[in-house]
Chain A
Amino acid sequence: MTHVLELRGITKRFPGVLANDNISITLREGKILALLGENGAGKSTLMNVLYGLYQPDEGQILVRGKEVQIHGPNDAIAQGIGMVHQHFMLVPVMTVTENVMLGVEPTKHGVFLDQEKVAKRIREISDEYGLEVDPDAYVGDLPVGIQQRVEIIKVLYRHADILILDEPTAVLTPQEVEGLFKIIHTLINAGKSIIFITHKLKEVLAVADDISVLRLGKMVGSADPKQATTESLAALMVGREVALTVEKEAAKAGEAVLVVKDLFVRDEREHLTVQGVSFEVRESETLGIAGVQGNGQTELVYALTGLLQAEAGEIHLTGESIKQATPRRILERGVAHIPEDRQRHGLILSFPIYDNMMLCTYYKEPFAKGVSLQQKAIFENAERLTEQYDVRTPNIYVHAGTLSGGNQQKVIVAREFSRPIKLLIASQPTRGLDVGSIEYIHSQIVKKRDEGAGVLLVSSELDEILALSDRIAVMYKGQIMAILDAKDATKEQLGLLMAGIHPTAEIRN
C-alpha cells in the first residue's frame, strides 16, 4: 500500500510551548485520515507545518515516499498539498474567480488577467465534483457553506491531490455537514487523499478510514473506526473518562428576570441579524441558546448588554425596559456578562490583573471615593478574588495578557460574579479552554443559577447546552426555531432545528 504522505517525528516549539512533540502520521492513498484532538492539542500547528506556514524544529515530511522540504505554501502547492483553512482564507471584496486565481494568475498577452479562462475552469471543477458556485459572485455575499466550496475549488484549481480540511464542520449546520461529506466522498472517488481535522467524535466515526489522536501536542494513539466508539475516542482525546454531564438539581424557576419580545437587531454592517426573537429567562433557571455560530446569537447578546442598539422590539429586565439603556445602566441593574470574545471585550490585556478585576465597578465604593481611586481597596479586591476563583498567576500586578486562556476567563468570571447579579449572560463561556477550566466554569454557572440568578447561556457546543440548560432555545437565521424543555430534547432534534428544519415531534413552549 502506498503512503501518499508521511510525517515523521515532527517537533515544533513556540516560546514556552511545545506545540508538537515528536508526531508521526501516515496518510494512505485515496483514504481519509482523521486527526482528532481537543482545541490546543496541536492539530493546526501540525498542519501548518505540513503546509509550510511554520518550519518544524525536528522531523521529516515524506510525499509519496520521498523526503521533501516545505519552506512555504508554494512548496506545499508544488507537492500537490492543498489546505482548506478553519478560518476561510478568502478576500470578501473580491469575486470567486479573483479569489481562486490569486497567486497563479493566467494572463492575456503576458500582462492582463485572464478572468474568463479561470471562470471556465471553475465551472469545470464545479461540474466534476458537484461544487456549485457562481464564479462572478462576490465572496462576501456568499453564505458560509458556499464559501467553503470556494475554498475547496481553490485547492482543486491548484491540482492538489492531498487535501487538508481544518475543522471544516465548525461553521456548518448538521445538514450542511452531510453535504460536505458527500463532496468528500466524490473527492475520494476521484483519487484524492484527505486529512480531516476535527474534535467532533461522531464525524470521525462517520467518515474516517484511519484515526490519529493528538493530546497536548503528542500523538496518543491510533484507532480503527470500525472498532472504535465515541467513548473510547473521547477517553483517548481527553486522557480520562469525561463527565459530559454536570451535577445539578432541577430548576426551581421563579419570576421572569429577562423578557424579550419581538426583538430586531442590526449588526455593525447594517445586516438585520436578529429578526423577531422572543423569550424569557426566569430566576434560578438556565435558558440555553443553541445554534450554529453566526445565526444572530452574538448580536442578540450585544443588544441585551447594550453594546448594540436594538432596531425594534422590547427588552425588559426585572420589569424595566432596557432597550435604550447604556451598558453601564444594564450592568448596574444586576447583569453579569461573560463575553464571547474575552480578549476583545472582557479584558484589557495591557492592564494589570487588579485593574481588570474592577473594570466594571471602578467608579464605585470601595474602589473610588469621588473621582479618587483607592489603590488599597483595589489591591485587596484582586487578592481576594484571585484566591477565591483559583486564578493561577504569580501576583496581581502582572498584565492580564500574560495569563493562559483559562485563567483569563477565570478573571472575568471572578469579576462578574463578585457583584450582586440577577441575570448572567454567558456567551461561549468555555470556548478554547482546557477540560479542567471548563468543569470549573460550568460548576460556577450552575452555582449562580442555584443562588437564584437567571442564566442565559449562548453556546454553539450542543453538549454544553444540554449539560447546563433547563430550557433550550434554538436560533437559526436570526429567529428562534423553538424553545424546548431540556429534559425532552435530543441532539438529533436540536440538530434539525439548528438547520432550520422543524422536526415532526411535538414542540412545547
Chain B
Amino acid sequence: MAEIYWEDQAVGSVREFGGMTVDRERMLAFASEYDARPATLGWSADWPEVDDDRPVSSGLHVAALCMRMMVDHVLGNSSSLGSPGIQRLRWLNTVRAGDTLWVRQCVLAKHRHPRRRDVGFINNRTEVLNQDGLVVMYMDSAGMFRLRAPQAAESGGDA
C-alpha cells in the first residue's frame, strides 16, 4: 500500500536519496537510442565540443536516472498519479560513466485539484548531485498525488 500521500508532503520539507552509479554500457545504449552525438558517443566532431573527455552522459540519461531514483525512493511508495510537466530543467555540470548521483528534493508548494476532491498537486525543486557534491541538474516540476482522505473542495486550499 502507498505510504506517501499528498498530505504527507509538507512545504519546505527536504528529501535526499539515491546513490546510483552511472553504468557505461547503459549510458552508451541510451545515447545511441535517444541522443546520438559526438559528445555522447565519443565520435570525433567537426566542431568544438563542450568537453574534451568524451563520451559524456546525455543530459536526458541523467534525467532518466533521476526519475529512477525518485521511483525507487519516493514515487513507488506513494499515491503518485503522474506529472503534468516541468517548468524548467537545466544541466549544470557534465556527468560521466562511473559518477555516482544523488537526488535532493524540496517541496516548494502544494495545492488541491480544482475539481477532484481526491487529487492534489505537489511542486518540487529537484536537484541531482554528483559524488563531489556538485549540482549536475535541477528541475522545477509538478506531481499529482491522491489524497489519503478526500476533502470537500471548499475546505481545502493552499497549504
Q: Are these two chains actual partners, yes or no?
A: no
**Interface of A toward B, CB cutoff 8 Å:** none
Residues of B that sit less than 8 Å from A by CB: none
